[in-house]
Structure 1
Amino acid sequence: MRYAAGHKARTRAKIVQAAGKVFRREGYHAAGIDMVMEEAGLTAGGFYAHFPSKAALLAEALAPAAAEAGVPHDQELEGETGRTRTEAFIDRYLAPRHMRDTEGGCPLPALASEVARTGGPVKASFEAIVRDLAARLKDQADGELSEDRALAILALCVGGLGVARSVQDKALGERILASCRDLAKASLVTLPAPQTSAATRNRETDQ
């Protein structure tokens, strides 16, 4: 059977998108190839025509999953600069709604512990997201945030969200988020104080 031009690329893209959702929702080790292909609306037998292994799929799926999650939420931070923009990232990342949205959220907290037990290609993909987010945090602070401080803020956000999702008590989870938000913002004390804007006020009430 002949397929139209681009059919294989479109099918591959469907598998990658499905994998990003399934791996975040179920966990990489718990999610089998059958589950990913079912999510994509495809039969499991066709998987190896596109990827040599599940690990290769994870390595490719991480970046699109981060982009799909809108991390950071650039469209929501339009017009913000410097410390205001960095605080906006912290608020959005450590928000209760992000805690609840494992499937559609950032892949870093959802998959960090499992990526730590994988091989080089997967870790390289994960690292690229970490480096990109830290660089964007640093750049948006107009040069007043060091690379190391940006990495520390990102690690606090990722780790805090992961811990908040892992406790049974919802109120405790939200306390963890709030505490991490406060600590992350406290690390911005060397940056000029932000001016309160309509976008900032909306962000503070939309958690």
Structure 2
Amino acid sequence: MAVDDGLGFLLNGIEDFQARHGADWRDKFVDFYLGDRMATGLDEACALPTLTADVARADDETRHAYAEGLTEIVDKIANGPGQRMSRDQVWALVAVLSGAAGMARAVTDPTLREEVLAAAAQAAKAI
């Protein structure tokens, strides 16, 4: 299922950053997610921003798989190395990253795109 694959890819990326960067993983992941990853084509981009709208219109089985995948991601972040985050903080972080990525990919003005990404990175790191 595309939902499982897409969210699994994100989970694997989070696990990789946690393993490679330890306590400093979160800020490095934010910089990567809203920086280098934004330069990739949609076929290689994180599926979360693009899947969300489609899943909202999908059947219950797909929506359940999406919720399970998101919950696994939130748990991985909340229990990761470094400063502990509450589940509320993690949900906010995931929402900021996903929303900013979707908006930045939707605009054509590079200045506006960079403004969105910079503001989101600052907000994500402050959570």
Smaller-chain TM-score bracket: 0.7 to 0.9
The TM-score normalised by the length of structure 2 is 0.84
Q: Which consecutive unaligned segments of at least 5 residues does structure 2 have?
A: none
1:75 aligned partner: 16
Q: Which consecutive unaligned segments of at least 5 residues does structure 1 have?
A: 1-59, 188-207
Aligned AA (1:165)? R
1:197 aligned partner: none
2:114 aligned partner: 174
| Bigger relative CO (Cα 8 Å, ≥ 6 apart) | 2
2:101 aligned partner: 161
Larger Rg: 1
One of 60, 63, 83 as aligned partner of 2:4: 63
Distance 2:54 2:64 in 1: 14
- RMSD over aligned CA atoms reads 2.2
Overall identity of the aligned pairs, in %: 24
Aligned pair count reads: 127
Distance 1:143 1:76 in 2: 15
In the alignment, does 2:123 pair up with 1:123?
no
Q: Deviations over 1:109-143 (max 9, x none)?
A: 01211211122111112112211111111111456
Q: 1:172 to 1:68 in 2, by over 3 A?
A: same
CA contact (8 A) 1:69 1:105 kept: no
